Each structure stands twice: as C-alpha cells, then as structure tokens.
A and B are shown apart, each in its own frame.
Chain A
C-alpha cells in the first residue's frame, strides 16, 4: 500500500444528538484503488461519505481529500472529485444537457464541448435535449455519471450507485465503473450493500457496523481468513472422527466442509481415509465468498456484545 492516500479519515466521529453515527473512523484510500465501503443500512456509510464531501460536519476528527482538509479547504479539496448518490436527483423539468450545464458550473466554467464529450461517453447522445422526467432509471444513472465526470475527477465517490436499477442496469453500471478505473485511472470509493458487486469490483474493502470500522483489508484477505475444504466421503461423520483423531482437521461444518490443520494437505486426508476404508468421492478447497465473510463478521460482532 505504497500509493499516496486520496482519502484520509483520521479518528472521524459524528454524533446526531445522542446517536453516534460514525465512531472513531480511520481510513486510507490509496490512489488507483476501487475501495469498497460495506455495511448494512444505518451503519454510517452515507454519513462518512457526507463528511468526505463537506455536507456533514464532523463532531471530531479530520477528513482529507487529495491531501486537503475538507472542513477548512473544501473548495480546493473537492476540485477534482465527482460523486453519485443513491437515486440521483435532477431538475426533472429541465433537459439533461441543461442539468449538466447547471451542475458543472458549481465546479468551474465548463466548455460546451466537454459537456458533449461526457454525454457521448455515457451514451446519452441524442437524448441530451429531452427533459429528465422522460428518462428511464438507467438513463438517470448515466446522467449522474456524466455530472460526476464533468470536473475531470481524480476521485469518484459512488454511494449505492446501483440502487433502483434493473439487472441490466446494474451490469452496465459495473462495467462502466471498471471502464472508468481502467481507462481513466480513477480512484473509486464505492459504498454498497450489494456484496457481489463489491466482490466483483473492489480491490480493498472496509466494513462498518454501527458507525465503527470492524474490518479493513484487501478483498483477497477476506477469502484467506478461513479456508474450508469440501469433502464428499462415504460416511462423513466417521471420516471426521478419524481425521480429528489423527489431528489432520480442526473443524467441520454443514456435513461436507472441513478445515485442515496447519501444514496438512488434501493428499494426507485422502490417504488416511482410504487406509481406514472410507471411500472419498470428492475433495476440493472452497473459496469463501465475501457474503460468508461479511455474515460471519457481523455474527461475530453480535456475539461479542
């Protein structure tokens, strides 16, 4: 993680009355990453994003975007930042093009040519003069993306960008995010509760629960935490008993999964079971999905209380 962080949160907290929405959150999002912010509804993701964009004032702590303190130097900090929110809102009674013109002016004067470029990039060419009220959900999402791209951002903050989209729209949005990362080299912060979306897009994730960060690391590390091996044997309970006695496994679950002891390979498992006369039909390592990891993390949090 040698790249300079584009987003830095230091001991960030936010209280709404007596409720602590974000609790001592420290986070670094390095340049060039697609960083996933995970958590259930009310976990504090949107509040954290609000603080990154200077829309919500932190109760304590510091937010730095592109090296600038957002609270003290909001204008400089947000100069090269684009953002999309859940259910993007526009002036429905104006055309898509006019909406872009209005929104872009809040960053800097934007030449008409740049607006046309972006319209073309998101695939809205030919519809820019139609009123936004005539747009489908997918077109609104593309318009949201267009407005976020207008200031030629280095950082894109996406707060539940796929919310309300149909499966085709969700797929399109994912492809666009990957394209933005690949072609334009943007750093992307993606807040989502679609775990498979995060799994497909992100390189690093942070998980929030009740305002606190409960995990931060690479996506790969979530898969290595507990490697399970699928075992299909003639008599699974007997196989488990024999393997435990031989101290080759530490745990079993769901009637077909075993956790190997450190340094043990699947060849040793097969050899022992065959020697004991237990037929082995299949043995293969199982990669834990992000969903399993997330759920076990949340269950662990609940049990810890």
Chain B
C-alpha cells in the first residue's frame, strides 16, 4: 500500500477510534427523532397542508418523507453540523500536541506539511461522513413516519418549489454534496486555529465564533451589500439547489469561495505549524 494511503488510513483509525468522534452522529440521531415526534404529533402537519393548499397544490402529495427530512436538516445544518465539525477540526492537531503524541510522530522522518495534509484529508472524510449520515438518517427516520411521495421545499424568502419524489431525491443528494463542502470549511477553520499554539477547545471556540460573527453580520440589513464577503451567505448554496430555475452562477460563485477558503485556511495552518516549535 502506498505510504500516503497508509498515513491516511492511520489518521482515520485515530479519528474513528475515539468515542468523542461519534458524539456528533449520536446527537443528530437524537435530534432527528425528537423533531419527527414533534412533526407527527403537533399541528405542524395541518399548517403545512394549509400552506400547500393555499398555493394550489394537493397537500397530501407533498407531506412526505423527503419534505420532512429536508425540514429537519435546516436547524441541524445551522447549529449541530458546525459544532461537531469544529470540535473535530479543533482536535486534529492541537489535541495531539496536548497529549504529546505529536512529539512522538515528529521524531519520525515525516515532513510536517505531509502530516498536516493527511490530517486535513482525514478531517474532510469525517466531514463528508457526518453530512451523509445526517442526510441518510434524516431520510430513513422520516420514512418510518411519513410516506414516500413528492417533495415540497420552502425556505422563507429563498425557495418555494414542489418536486416529484425522483427529482427531489436527486436534488436532496446534490444538496448534501454542497453541505459536505460547508462542513469541510468549518472543519478547515478549526483545523487552521488548531495548528497555532493553542488548546483544542480554544481552536473550536475561535472557529465557531468566526462563524457566529458571520451569521450575525448577515442578519444585519446594513451588511446586505457585503453578503458576498460572508461565509455563512455562501453556506446557503445547498438550498439553492432546490430553486427553479437553478441559480448556477450563484451556486458556482459560492462553491469557488468555499473552496478558496478551504485552501486558504489549510495554507495558513500549514505555515503556522511549519514555523512552530513542538515541545513537551
């Protein structure tokens, strides 16, 4: 096996061997089931049917597993996903420094850049798995309580669309690819901070603070003209996938910005890590 793949496999062992890695997955499953119970046993369903019928659609056709799964995703993508991606990203380097294992690794003839690149790749794989499990379980649990029918997407002020089940599933999958990008950006920011001389918790908190600042600025009307500069604005690309017609340029711009942020945070982290002295 190629040495790079071996390193990547080792990083994945380290990452997925830890119990705390699974906290995020567990929290998602709990949150999803709690939300499903609310959807199923409150007035939510009746309100949804009224909204659809008010717009001329046959409500029963669109109150479905796909619709519910997507509705469940929104708060989780906004709150839980960044939290867990930042938690793991903040741990990737800083926790190894704190535990002393990094000193052991760096007594070996491996370049710091390669070590970081492998760690970052393992982090991105974790991000992808986090998002895919999030989307998969949301759909699975929703299917237990709701039928497999057409999809209704409604994000106030952004998207209103109705889709067939097949089309909806396809777009649901595409939206998860973009959410993976969001997740990797959050992880990348925490990873960058974790390359500096700080505790893992500090790296996580700094990354989350940066996101919250973006989110707050985005919510202030004065900053509307500066939305292009805000990360959280570009994080919305996943929901544009459901818009009709598809805003390709907007999605493309956001993808480019997010990829650039990923590259930049990695390079800043790598430069900081390269310059650092690793001591006990």
Binding site for B on A (CB under 8 A): 16, 46-47, 50, 53-57, 74-79, 81-83, 85-91, 93-94, 98, 101-103, 105-109, 147, 151, 157
Contacts and interface: CB of A to CB of B under 8 A. Distances in A.
B277 A106 contact: no
A85 B280 contact: yes
A106 B108 contact: yes
Contacts of B17: 91, 93-94, 98
Contact of B279 (A56, A77, A83): A56
Interface residues of B, number: 28
A55 B106 contact: yes
B13 A78 contact: no
B48 to A, nearest CB: 44
Nearest to A14: B277
Interface string B260-280: 000000000000000101111
Contacts of B14: 91, 94, 102
Given A85-B103, A89-B104, A55 B109 contact: no
B18 interface: yes
Nearest to A57: B277
B104 A85 contact: yes
* 10 A-B pairs with the lowest CB-CB distances in the bound complex, closest first: A89-B100, A106-B108, A83-B107, A78-B109, A75-B109, A56-B277, A55-B278, A106-B110, A102-B10, A53-B107
Contacts of A76: 109
Contacts of A47: 279
Contact of B108 (A101, A103, A109): A103
Interface stretch (B1-9, B36-44, B143-151, B243-251): B1-9
16 contacts: A46-B280, A47-B279, A50-B278, A55-B106, A57-B275, A74-B111, A76-B109, A78-B108, A81-B109, A85-B103, A85-B107, A89-B99, A94-B17, A98-B13, A106-B7, A106-B110
Contacts of B111: 74-75
A87 B100 contact: yes
A151 B10 CA distance: 17
Q: Which of A87, A90, A106, A108 is the most central at the interface, judged by chain B CB atoms within 10 Å of its CB?
A: A106
Contacts of A55: 103, 106-107, 277-279
